[in-house]
């Protein structure tokens, strides 16, 4: 994958879109400059999940913005998207890699230093490290937030590009960028923003400035 695509990574949550459709929010985020999208659906049934993935892919493919699916390898294959993101209790990265092939994008979540170190030998393209800051979006986050200093240390321990997730928003994005991570992954900062386009634009600007 292109490491630049990790810069501003939108992770979706339909329940946070303030009554707007997911397509609308993702289209706006793309217009504003988000570089990658993960469709994360905890409630949808499988058929609906595939349909949503297809709808987002129709929108993102022409813009060359990769689309990944959270957890569900079958949904990713059915919709023909660019990759999959798994957590620590999902299918093993080795098994996902065998199914999706060498060229698809594969990401893994790490919450602790032990998970970060263990992940170094896994066949993944990036690690989502979190929570960077306290967040209300995911209820079952493990461990204390990494903060900019923790992220900086993690960057020094990882040969795999890191994406900081959890509580990242306009007020702290510069500190995160300065930690050396390859990118940020955000849910509420874009999905819940009055203008997802404007929110993505500000985050992209700060990340470009902060990671040079």
Sites of contact with ligand TZP (CB under 6 A): 11, 130-131, 135, 137-138, 141, 165-168, 186-189
Among 16, 23, 77, 87, the residue binding Mg ion under the rule CB under 5 A is 87
Q: Least CB distance from residue 202 to ligand TZP, whole Å? A: 14
Distance separating alpha carbons of residues 70 and 151, to the nearest angstrom = 23
Residue with the closest Cβ to Mg ion? 87
Q: Which residues are annotated as a binding site for Mg(2+)?
A: 71, 90
Q: How far is the CB of 85 from ligand TZP (least distance, A)?
A: 9
Is the distance from CB of 89 to CB of 66 less than 8 angstroms?
A: no
- Binding residues for Mg ion, total number by CB under 5 A: 3
Looking at the Cβ atoms of 87 and 161, the one nearer to Mg ion is 87
115 interacts with Mg ion by CB under 5 A:
no
State how far the Cα of 157 lies from the Cα of 138, in Å rounded to an integer: 25
For residue 126, the cross-strand partners are 107
The least distance separating Mg ion from the CB of residue 125, rounded to whole angstroms, comes to 17
CB of 141 to ligand TZP, least distance (A): 5
90 binds Mg ion (CB under 5 A): yes
> Which residues make up each annotated binding site?
38-42, 70-71, 90, 109, 135-138, 167, 187-188
Residue bearing tokens 């040079």:
212
Positions annotated as catalytic residues are 40, 109, 138
Q: Which does 52 bind (CB under 5 to 8 A by kind): ligand TZP, Mg ion, none?
A: none
* Binding site partner of 131, from ligand TZP, Mg ion, none, Cβ cut-off 5-8 A by kind: ligand TZP
- Cα distances from 123 to residues 10, 80, 96, 98, 201, in angstroms, run 22, 20, 9, 10, 32
In the bound state with Mg ion, the residue whose beta carbon lies nearer, of 128 and 148, is: 128
Contact partner, 65, from ligand TZP, Mg ion, none, Cβ < 5-8 Å per class: none
User: What are 102's two structure tokens?
Assistant: 């060498």
- Torsion angle (degrees, nearest 10) of CA 142, 134, 149, 208: 120
**Helix 22-32 / helix 46-60 crossing angle, nearest 10 deg:** 30
- Dihedral over Cα of 204, 119, 41, 55: its sign: positive
Strands (E), 5-66: 8-11, 36-39
Residues that bind Mg ion (CB under 5 A): 71, 87, 90
């Amino acid at each position: 994958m292109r490491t630049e695509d990790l810069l501003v990574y939108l992770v979706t949550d339909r329940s946070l879109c303030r009554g707007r459709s997911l397509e609308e929010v993702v289209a706006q985020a793309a217009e504003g400059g988000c570089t990658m999208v993960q469709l994360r659906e905890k409630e949808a049934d499988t058929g609906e999940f595939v349909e949503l993935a297809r709808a987002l892919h129709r929108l993102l493919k022409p813009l060359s913005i990769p689309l990944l699916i959270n957890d569900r390898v079958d949904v990713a294959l059915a919709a023909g998207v660019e990759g999959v993101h798994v957590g620590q209790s999902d299918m093993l990265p080795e098994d996902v890699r065998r199914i999706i092939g060498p060229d698809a994008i594969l990401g893994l979540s790490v919450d602790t230093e032990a998970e970060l170190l263990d992940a170094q030998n896994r066949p993944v393209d990036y690690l989502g490290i979190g929570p960077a800051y306290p967040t209300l979006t995911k209820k079952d986050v493990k461990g204390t937030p990494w903060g900019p200093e923790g992220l900086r240390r993690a960057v020094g321990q990882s040969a795999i590009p890191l994406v900081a997730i959890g509580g990242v928003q306009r007020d702290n994005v510069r500190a995160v960028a300065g930690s050396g991570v390859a990118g940020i992954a955000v849910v509420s900062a874009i999905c819940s923003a009055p203008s997802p386009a404007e929110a993505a634009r500000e985050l992209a600007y700060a990340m470009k400035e902060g990671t040079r």
